Amino acid sequence: METSPREIQAAVDESMKIFGKFELRLKETTFLYTNILDHLISKCILSTQDREEIFKQETQSQRNAQLLYILKRQPYDTFYFLVEALKEDKDDFEKIDECKKLLHEMISERSHTVPAIPFLNLFQAVEDRSVRLQKNFRHLINNIANARSHMDHLYAKGILTTDEMEHMNKQQTTKGTNRMFLSIIFAKATSMDVYQTFLDVLEDNIDKDLVKTIKGTEVLDEEKKLIRIDHKSLVVSGPSGVGKTASVRHVALQLENESYTIIFLREAEDIKQYYKSGPKTLYVVDDLCGNYTGNKKQLKKWKKLEEDIQYRLEHGNCKLIATCRLQVFQDIKSTDIKLFANECNLISKGNNLTNSDKEKLAEKYFHEAADKAKEHLAKYECFPYLCKFYYDNKDKTEFCLKLFLEKPFSFLTEELRKLKGGNGKNNKGRLRFCALVLLVISNNNLKESTLEGKNQMIFDTLQKCELSTNITGKDIKSELDTLIDTFVIKREQSYCATHEKMFDFLAFHMAVEEKLLDIIILYASESLVCERLSVGENPVASESLVCEKLSVGENPEPDPNQISNQDYLITIPDEMILKYIKRVFSDIKSSDHVDNYVSNNRNMENGKFKKKFLSYIRQKLLQKDETKNPICTATPDFRSRILAITSTHSIKSGISLAVQIPEIYLHMYIERVFKDMTRSDNVEKCICNNINQTEEAFNDRLAAYMAQISKDEIENLLKEASADFVANIFVVSIENVTRRGSPIDKFHILIPNEYLKNYIAKVFADLISSDDIERYLQNNRNEPDNYFNEMLIAFMSEITEKEFCTLLRDQKFSSSSIKHLIVVDSRDSEQSPKSVLQHIQDKGILNCPECFVSDYIKRIMDYWKSGEVFDVFQNVNMKNQLFADLFINHLHQLDQPTQLQLAATIDNKTKSSTLVVSCHTETKSLQTGVCKTTWKNYPEIVSVLLNDCSTPIDVNKSIENGKTPLFMACAGGLEQIVTMLLGAKGIDVNKDSDEGETPLYAACAQGVGHIVALLLQNTSSKIDVNKCTKDGYSPLYEACCQRNFDIVLMLLKQKN
């Protein structure tokens, strides 16, 4: 009889009580030595990674504490297994009398039956090979004859790195070397290739008997449950219809029962949006990076955010699980995204459905027809999908079980032919067929908005399906609704196929069997055109042939790397290749991400196709009409990435797709590139992205073009060009041309004297509207120039009150300029010459007239209300006591609802409460390699927030890492604020951070004795002076480490 989860948890709770009884003695006893760890690893209680974590600790006591921490976090009674390990090594252990006594006490307390182990979820699952290796850990340590020889062979094969070799060679003993060697191999043996290579090396180097022992080791289910490596991220892969989504949903339900919040994501950025460090969260991504082949754009996003997401998974209480097709996972592996290193392949041996599993599925879904279903359908990879399809459709009058069992996909073909059949322009069956064609064209995402009104795609599709063109999108939608649960389902405001396997079939059927490829080429989405349409890759297959390919046999031993996407590729016949080329050209010509499009299109790897495609582009470049020539009509990215001015150009990014521009159109090309620069928000990137930027001919032509620009054109550019163009291309003197060593230094426009005022006015307008005025000035090519700074300072000093009022009223000032540029009281400003940037970094520079100070403060309040709280408290004027008094006075005069709104505001960037922000503002700057933190004190603001709100605010509201306002104030040594917070109603003086650090611990760590005294003297709340961090460190321990004699004495005087 299986033990219930409740009984298992009760045993764990009892185990924790016993651990607590012996914990202090276990920590201080030096018996938890190497043999004990080897035993626990061989019994699958610890992993080799756990051993590494233990030996990172400096002292034996700390290593003991880490071992106990690891044992206690397992979801089963590990006290039992610890006692068993000690009993096995008791000859060494009982040499110490105190240890002998302790062991006897522990034996009398522990359970006398082997503990029950809870079931694994996919995150905790391990392969049999990992268990075999781990069970032989002690045996291998004692019997590997020549580890260094094995290491050399594995290094030569690329399994071991240079750093790992150096680390292992530092070991002093043979067993020490073996332990380190095995720990590294075990961590990598999750890969079948590494595992097999390791065994081959042992067999080739006098350790054949060890290989036999490993291969002959029996693996029990209970042992696999014991190891339970808790992965933070997991990819569930497999072909369409094998049960990926169902498996993931099952895991989600399991974890939901363990108090996890389940959040479904679409993009990598969504994790940052929904991330919270406290609550247990499972992020679920369906069809990771595409549903047919890996989408390069999405792959780049995951790669870019990988480090950030990995940090959140490691330090937050969350997990990530994703599903993807096998082909997509191959593409993910090629990008080396380590976030998705852990794969559960549902058709690999050990993960695939057994005959017993298939029998259960057949009985559950087919009932009396179960035997026939297993006989006819179990050979298909997509057997789970076929079971569901049968269950959803068996009661429909048109369903034929016999045909479905014999040829399941032919059954679908028959259904589509029935829909298409019949006569009459308004035949409903044919209209439903037409709706499915539109579903294919939309690549399985037919939005309701697409069916509103009439467009050319709907008009042409109706014609192709021989239907009246008077039929409306509303009519199509009505018929599409009748296909729900048979062919389609509706999600939010879109229609999609009931399953990705269904869509595979529909796309293939419509293109190949129904001869609708021409309209698919013309109107289908870019992703379908790139992923599913193939030029000369495979011969056109029939549906029956596809069905045969999907069969994996009666007793399959499937290849984990089997990719069945090839079976549903749609081959383009020769007579339609030109039409396909025209479609691809149209897509690329209008794309802002040409490299992504090219890399996502499977046909760009086909040499013959690429040759035809480039030839087509050359023909288009010869058109004299500018309105048709792609030099003029294409996107800036097309001009930068496809068009080359020489035949020997250098191509970046490895994209070998470029066409030389005819000589007669080079001037037209240079002119267009210049226009692209004038509109660009990142001119340097615009130049660096151009495949011609390393060619002297290109640089000389573009520089010559800029040199001949007329004064009238300069005047117009100063009005209309982008802020980045003005900042980077215009120079006030020739000395500023090559100051940065950037590719952009080759190009400049010298401003005529009569337009310098226009230039400065433009710079000022761009400056005050910039989101980061410091960065804007640093990027300005003229910033080091004294004359430029003098003119800009003079321009700002001449701004009248009326002009300032207009700028402030019309909200021309960005948050950054409100924070850094405007100064309320400039009387104390230094008279020494400074650049505009230096003024901004010091005290600001643009004077706010006294009559507009109140309006200026109101603007600051607007930013506070919108969630830019840190920006408010980092305002340059907060250093000015006169302004601070005015600001506090304004807060006091606000009505209570507004005060409450401000108090409840959470900062958009840090997610910190207003109270946390006002307790301190943390600014970091890198100086001589040291990151320094500056604490700023706003006690008056804290006072207003605590005392002047009609509804009490949450004084214990923490920021993302769990640190409360009291924690921040204590760590900063802010005595006045600490005093106010300790007197606040509901204050929790013992609330700890995510790392388990309390305010008292923070004060001890920072060595602020006066804060420690305040906390200890507080009588309104009982402070826990012994509360430890998650690593087991108490405030007293930290004070001792800091050698702070006064704080140690204060703590020791406490009665508790």
* 126 and 274, same domain (yes or no): no
For 761-776, what is the mean pLDDT?
92
Q: Is the pLDDT of residue 544 over 60?
A: no
* 943 and 1029, same domain (yes or no): yes
| Phi, psi at 846, each rounded to 5° | -85, 115
Our measurement of the distance from residue 139's CA atom to the centroid of its chain's CA atoms, rounded to an integer in Å, reads 41
pLDDT digits over 105-132, tens only? 787 777 767 666 655 555 545 677 777 8
Residue 760: both structure tokens together: 């400065």
- Final residue before a domain boundary, out of 190, 207, 225: 225
Q: What is the three-class DSSP state of 421?
A: coil
CATH number at residue 303: 3.40.50.300
* 75 and 175, same domain (yes or no): no
* 727 and 643, same domain (yes or no): yes
pLDDT digits over 495-527, tens only? 999 888 888 889 888 888 778 899 999 999 998
Q: Is the pLDDT of residue 937 over 60?
A: no
* 92 and 127, same domain (yes or no): no
pLDDT of residue 661: 92
Residue 661: both structure tokens together: 């521009």
Residue 800 and residue 854 in contact, taking contact as beta carbons nearer than 8 Å = no
* 185 and 277, same domain (yes or no): no
Nearby residues of 950 by Cβ (< 8 Å), 6 or more positions away: 896, 897, 899, 900
pLDDT of residue 948: 61
For 63-71, what is the mean pLDDT?
82
Q: How confident is the model at residue 870 (pLDDT cuts 50, 70, 90)?
A: confident
Measured distance CA(979)–CA(919) in Å, rounded: 12
916, HSE (Cβ side, Cα atoms, 13 Å) = 22
Measured distance CA(920)–CA(840) in Å, rounded: 22
99 domain residue, yes or no: yes
pLDDT of residue 928: 24
CATH number at residue 947: 1.25.40.20
Residue 69: both structure tokens together: 């921490």
Q: What is the three-class DSSP state of 868?
A: coil
* 374 and 359, same domain (yes or no): yes
For 957-977, what is the mean pLDDT?
82
Residue 52: both structure tokens together: 């590494």
pLDDT digits over 702-719, tens only? 999 999 999 999 999 999
* 762 and 909, same domain (yes or no): no
For 605-620, what is the mean pLDDT?
91
512 domain residue, yes or no: yes
Our measurement of the distance from residue 719's CA atom to the centroid of its chain's CA atoms, rounded to an integer in Å, reads 40
885 domain residue, yes or no: no
* 440 and 545, same domain (yes or no): yes
For 435-454, what is the mean pLDDT?
90
| Average pLDDT for the chain | 81
Q: How confident is the model at residue 89 (pLDDT cuts 50, 70, 90)?
A: low
pLDDT of residue 720: 94
- Strand segments, DSSP code E, in 805-857 are 822-823, 846-847
75 domain residue, yes or no: yes
574 domain residue, yes or no: no
* 14 and 127, same domain (yes or no): no
* 185 and 290, same domain (yes or no): no
Measured distance CA(888)–CA(285) in Å, rounded: 48
pLDDT of residue 564: 46
Cβ neighbourhood burial of 376 (10 Å; 0-12, 13-18, 19+): middle
794 domain residue, yes or no: no
- Final residue before a domain boundary, out of 163, 192, 225: 225
- Final residue before a domain boundary, out of 768, 795, 830: 768
pLDDT of residue 30: 56
CATH number at residue 131: 1.10.533.10
Find, among 220, 39, 222, 32, the residue nearest to 139 by Cα: 39
pLDDT of residue 13: 78
Cβ neighbourhood burial of 489 (10 Å; 0-12, 13-18, 19+): middle
Measured distance CA(1044)–CA(1036) in Å, rounded: 10
Of all residues in the chain, what percent are helix, strand and coil, respectively (each to 5)? 60, 5, 35
| Phi, psi at 538, each rounded to 5° | -130, 150
Domain residues for the domain of 86 are: 5-109
Considering its fold, how many domains does the chain have in total? 7
Q: What is the pTM of this model?
A: 0.66
For 529-539, what is the mean pLDDT?
76
Q: How confident is the model at residue 891 (pLDDT cuts 50, 70, 90)?
A: confident
* 505 and 609, same domain (yes or no): no
Q: Is the pLDDT of residue 829 over 60?
A: no
